[in-house]
Amino acid sequence: MPFPSSSSFGIFFQQQFVFFFPLFWLLFSFPLASPVPISSHSSASDPSILITVKTTRANHRSRVEDALATWASMAGRKGTEKTQILFVSDANSPSPLIQSTKCPPGHTNAALCCKMAAEIRIALQRSPDFWCHFDDDSFVLLANLRAFLRQFRPHLDDLYLGRPSTSAPVVLPQLDDRPQLFAPFRHRKRPFWFGTGGAGICLSALTLRRLRRFIVMGETHQPRGNFQWVCAQLGVPDDVALGFILENVLAIPLTRTDRFHSHLNRMDEIPRSQLSDQISLSGSEKDANFVNVPEKFDGKRSDLLHFRSLFKFILLREGQKRREKEATKEKEDKYLMETKEYFLYR
């Protein structure tokens, strides 16, 4: 058989090109699929966040009102549309934002653990991308929290985010004294870190789902092995018990962030220029531990933790930054226009 002529070879090549070109175009014009499955929930750039704030009846008219008038009022505004805030208390309230529990009042381990279990139960029922816990003496900068959480994959990664208040991991000798009680957990007998509840704790959706077996959903009795049982047997507060379960039982390590602050940290040591960069701030009337703001709130309401003063300071600072940014952009636009006119009409 004779070798095909150049003209017939060209026709053959054109036919093959016409047939295969669309396939190559489809292959290389679109990015290859990621080997990691993509969640059907909110995208990482716009996650849903549920914040539960632990409080008590005595603080409804003080700390809760201060929070609602300041940082919590920013939820649902531009940039925080998918952020929901609920206060979990031991008493009823006419406000729909305050969820009542059957937990006892006070600051005992039993009361604290009961409320933490109620917070986790609420989070499991609502299934957010991230669940965050704060205390009612926390001031949360919602935009910073959202920006911080955007870097994570809540449905693919086990995440336990917070800040420890101890200088070393915690050792619980009671684990050795009563080994038979915790044998079913198959926990690792080693020191562990825990995120301080007062500074703030955030869990990813994946981690939250792993806690389900420790939470009684809709039942009144507290069976052996649940969260409150663990608290009672260990004799520790809620945040320590949560750290034990996450780190030693579920093997989910604490990811530390120093932008979370509790009243155990000195607020007045944070420079004013860095206040608006934090994720959570706090305060203490007992220790006179307050944020360092230039002007005190001059309204008729009390400002026990200086949250209203802080809110005013941050709003003014953000407004100043926005005006400076707009002024810079205006100068840049003017320069570009003058440069364009120079080259057009020279």
Other beta carbons less than 10 A from residue 124's beta carbon? 17
Residue 37 lies in a domain: no
Is residue 35 a part of any domain in this protein?
no
Find all residues with CB under 8 Å of 237, minimum gap 6, and list them: 109, 112, 113, 197, 231
If you count them, how many residues does the chain have?
346
Residues marked as catalytic: 239
Provide the β-strand partners of residue 99: 88
- Note down the domain range covering 184: 43-346
What tokens were used for 130? 């991230």
- Distance, CA of 345 to CA of 31 (rounded, Å): 44
What tokens does 10 get? 């060209």
Give the span between the Cα atoms of 46 and 128, in whole angstroms: 12
State the Cα–Cα distance between residues 83 and 91, nearest whole angstrom: 24
Q: Are 209 and 203 in contact (CB under 8 A)?
A: no
Residue 200 lies in a domain: yes
For 160, list phi and psi in degrees, rounded to 5: -130, 100
Work out how many domains the chain is built from and give that number.
1
CATH of the domain at 152: 3.90.550.50
Q: How far apart are CA 240 and CA 112, in angstroms?
A: 11
Q: What does the pLDDT read at residue 286?
A: 92
Beta-carbon contacts of 274 under 8 Å, excluding residues fewer than 6 positions away, are none
24 assigned to some structural domain: no
Coil/strand/helix, residue 181: helix
Would you give per-residue pLDDT tens digits along the chain (346 residues)?
444 444 444 444 444 444 443 333 333 332 323 333 323 345 567 899 999 999 999 999 999 999 999 999 999 888 788 999 999 999 999 899 999 998 999 899 999 999 999 999 999 999 999 999 999 999 999 999 999 999 999 999 999 999 999 999 999 888 777 777 777 666 667 899 999 999 999 999 999 999 999 997 655 555 778 999 999 989 999 999 999 999 999 999 999 999 999 999 999 999 999 999 999 999 999 999 999 998 887 766 778 899 999 999 998 877 556 555 655 666 666 667 766 666 666 6
Q: What's the rounded Cα separation, in Å, for the pair 139 and 253?
A: 25
**In degrees to the nearest 10, what's the CA dihedral of 145, 257, 125, 91?**
-90
Q: Judge contact between 79 and 143, C-beta under 8 A.
A: yes
Position 316 in a domain:
yes
10 domain residue, yes or no: no
pLDDT for 258 equals 97
The Cα angle at residue 135 between residues 133 and 140, in degrees rounded to 5? 75
Residue at 18 is within a domain: no
CA pair distance 187, 204, nearest whole angstrom: 21
Residue 154 contacts residue 47 (beta carbons within 8 Å):
yes
Query: Is residue 250 one of the residues assigned to a domain?
Result: yes
Side chain identity, residue 241: A
- Across the strands, what pairs with 86? 52
Distance CA(141)–CA(138), nearest Å, equals 10
Phi/psi at 139 (5° precision): -115, 115
